Structure 1
């Protein structure tokens, strides 16, 4: 009865002496304290896994049995817990039952709401005992701690891949299963990863949330902004030892190196095609599926490749490639490149 009354009063009598975290339940404080001590009292009797929370151990044990009795009626996705299936269903329904009491934000998952609410309070109750790093989210602290330990606790059951983050393992496992549980409600596009679906949705909304603080450039993807920023700094710290080529980003150098090695790591699972760049494989796979996920917001035109959609958009915007040596301009880069060769031929 006493614990129930506390819910009405809003009192949080239990406080953490390390980080100032407060709660209305003693059991919650005990669980929180483990984020500081690293204690993992719940042990798996089939392997050396241990967990700070009982629910985490129960989820882990299901991996040994392989049982996934809960099935999504929309896409066939299987889950080993009913709560996981409930969360998955919201990717289809768009339901966001968790509401913020300080603004109009809502979330599909309780943990996401709790992360959002920390923005209002500024509270960062979770602290790293190694370096003093503080965060508003317990999951973020766990991930941070692995930067000290090097632990990769999430293991793939079909190959020797391991990951420091659960989401990385989930993304990896879709390569084995071919599963694409995340679906766009606008056009039916399906994705293996939630982040990929979020990126796809921006093709409908035109949203470009990543803003440059030095000019008016904005991007739909964070890495595109990072690439753009190098234009301002001019920094290219990554160097090819074969030819001296310099790159602003490490993945760009990695792609460049394949021009020397001939490596084509991206394999098609439906034919013997392979590619040196991931986006080339994605473009190729649309030939098998017939899928055209990129949609023009102006006229509904659909394209299999993002670059094709960008070219199409110029028919609406009138944007062109302009030659610096004459008054020629073109809507398509390929036409522009052909034109530039004429100047090169004349010089030779």
Structure 2
């Protein structure tokens, strides 16, 4: 593709950190860069603890396990999201319950979620979809633990705080298409010291800190490597710069696409979303995507609604009308932090 969907914004500090980690020999699932990344994340978001893990998906699995979610339990989550939250619920043996979205934000609809709550509901995974925070005040009415999936929401805010600071725990992804990346990787953040200890225990083979080979729970190896964290630590130090770069790309898109038959994704007045991938809708989405890709511009249709997939349809107790509608009409435009006005112009021209 002449213009890819996304690319990382890497600099000299990332390279220097990686060289240092390699020279030291600390490249596995422990090391000073893991510690540095965890500390920087906790400070950036304002939470008591951050535990670095191997991916955002793994972060969801680990936090559900640490919360005691398992067979027979139900977890409510939005029908419009990447598949990771639903897969994580199934991985721990629980039942995902797919919920429709609020058309004003594209995030999980609290009223619809309340109607889906049962005696078996153990948690809600609230996805800050494409950088737009959920309505956490209304979700609190469900009176079950909320896990905030802020994988796509680095730098997003509400009047109550920033993304990653809500719920009993939150998770981030540092996949290469995220504003802050370590290539792969993720993190769990929480203010609950007991939950933080359980997350770390499960992620480290269920092995007690300071008691090598003494396993107290069934754990797994979910650790982030020091080599990966070396990149992530440098990126986290550039948090504001990288978030601002994507916001500027969104601003330029909004200017360049004025007058075209494309609608930007909605936002609530109380939210200050971040820009993960700039998203627009059109009733001719598939034709536009096809022609843009023919021109070498990596425009992509968003994920299908999970409720429309054979794998997850059995977990859809009520129609997810809005999720399906958005999934049929929305597309992502190329977005990254060091995008230039010339890049934006090229995408806009391909869309015309």
Q: TM bucket by the smaller chain?
A: under 0.3
Work out which structure has the larger RCO, using CA pairs closer than 8 Å and 6 or more positions apart in sequence: 2
Larger helix fraction of residues: 1
TM (norm. structure 1) is 0.23
